[in-house]
Amino acid sequence: MGPLRSVVLAGGGTGGHIYPLLAFADALRRHFPQIRITTLGSPKGMENQLIPAAGYDLRSIPAFQLPRSLNLDLLRTPDRMYRSAHAAGEIIDEVEAEVVVGFGGYVSVPAYLAAWRRELPIVIHEVNVPPGVANRMGMKFTKRVAVGFPHQLEQAEALRNARLVGVPLRTGITHMDRPALRPQALYHFGLRPDLPVLFVSGGSSGARTINLAVAAAAKRLAHAGIQVLHVQGGRNDPFEVPNDLPVPYVVVPYLSDMQLGYAAADLMLCRGGAITVAETTALGMPAIYVPYPFSNQEQRRNALPVVEAGGGLLVDNSELTPDWIERNIIPLARDRQRLAQMGTAAAGYGRRDGDEQLLRFVLEAVS
């Protein structure tokens, strides 16, 4: 077949749906420099900041609410869904899309519906177990489903026959030489080169429990000689950190250059969002995972295989206290040998070619 000329990518809500979409868009552009890439998003999601900043065309389609569980009546009845699908269809027609690739988030549903009506190939990329509601609806319209992780094939009936491609990750992360970037990253954040750095990030929206627990442990960490680089997260309230600490504790609201954070870090404390896990493992970053407790165990499932492989630790949200941090994180952050072993184990689980593998799958769909 000839080069791909026009593709619609749908996905939105939080970073977990948007960053893989952007990484995939970059892969499309690398292979097909003339390609037209159109992204579909919702009026209020984080895509409105992230996608234009990355230089891609974002079209907003009217919002509607998806129920938390799958309900096919939704596709038959409400006007709002049809309005959204109609808007998605007009965009698909206008750009003469050859394929629709969806990454989840409720905005994907009208895109799937409109593509199905036009008999266009649809490819779904799913990173969670259980799969998100939007993608489960999409699976009514296509069998071309790609997943990010091996455990998804075993743990979700709906994903049993999916293709394992990995997660498209930004090349700034997958091609990063961490040791080479480290001095620049430390300088950028005002961190010292002689002391370990704990990198704290609760995912794209931030995590209140993690933020408060680490901030409350600030003095103990500092007196143990551990520096902290703490990303508050896009949707979280500020928190207080004492300002007379003997070593740096740097708080940033959000990192658009996440690779700088990874480059500065010796150890990460994070949630278990799928893209975060894909990134820490691709980088061989030792991590302590604190899964978000209110989402069907999906984050625990993401982190467990890495932890079982020796690439990190798992702690319940309710157990993450300043005392736990003192007992577990302080000795670990100072133990270079153990960190190196954990990093090697994490890297053994990680993959860096999710963008290329998904592209191959999409090309099969359009051929």
Ligand X SMILES: CC(=O)N[C@H]1[C@@H](OP(=O)(O)OP(=O)(O)OC[C@H]2O[C@@H](n3ccc(=O)[nH]c3=O)[C@H](O)[C@@H]2O)O[C@H](CO)[C@@H](O)[C@@H]1O
Q: Which of 39, 42, 108, 204 binds ligand X (CB under 6 A)?
A: 204
- Phi and psi of 313, rounded to 5°? -120, 160
What would the x/- binding string for ligand X be over residues 234 to 273, using CB under 6 A? --------------------xx--x------------x-x
Interaction between residue 354 and ligand X (CB under 6 A):
no
Distance in angstroms (rounded) separating the CA atoms of residues 112 and 123: 9
| Residue 2 C-beta: closest distance to ligand X, Å | 32
Name the residue among 311, 349, 315, 366 with its Cα closest to residue 167.
349
| Residue 250 C-beta: closest distance to ligand X, Å | 13
Interaction between residue 14 and ligand X (CB under 6 A):
yes
Q: Which is nearer to ligand X, 231 or 358 (CB)?
A: 231
Judged by DSSP in three states, 308 sits in helix
Interaction between residue 41 and ligand X (CB under 6 A):
no
| Residue 305 C-beta: closest distance to ligand X, Å | 14
190-to-187, 217, 234, 252 alpha-carbon distances in Å: 5, 20, 22, 12
The region of 13-21, 30-38, 308-316, 321-329 touching ligand X under the rule CB under 6 A is: 13-21
| Residue 185 C-beta: closest distance to ligand X, Å | 14
Angle formed at CA 358 by CA 357 and CA 359, multiple of 5 degrees: 90
Name the residue among 31, 363, 351 with its Cα closest to residue 164.
351
Cβ count within 10 A of residue 295: 15
Q: Which of 137, 198, 229, 231 binds ligand X (CB under 6 A)?
A: 231
Residue numbers 107-136 binding ligand X by CB under 6 A: 127-128
Interaction between residue 299 and ligand X (CB under 6 A):
yes
Distance of CA 172 to the CA centre of its chain: 14
356-to-82, 169, 229 alpha-carbon distances in Å: 34, 10, 32
Q: Which of 209, 295, 317, 328 binds ligand X (CB under 6 A)?
A: 295
Q: Which is nearer to ligand X, 266 or 279 (CB)?
A: 279
- Element (DSSP H or E) covering residue 274: helix 274-283
Interaction between residue 171 and ligand X (CB under 6 A):
no
Binding footprint of ligand X on the chain (CB under 6 A):
14-17, 19, 127-128, 201, 203-205, 231, 254-255, 258, 271, 273-276, 279, 292, 295, 298-299, 302
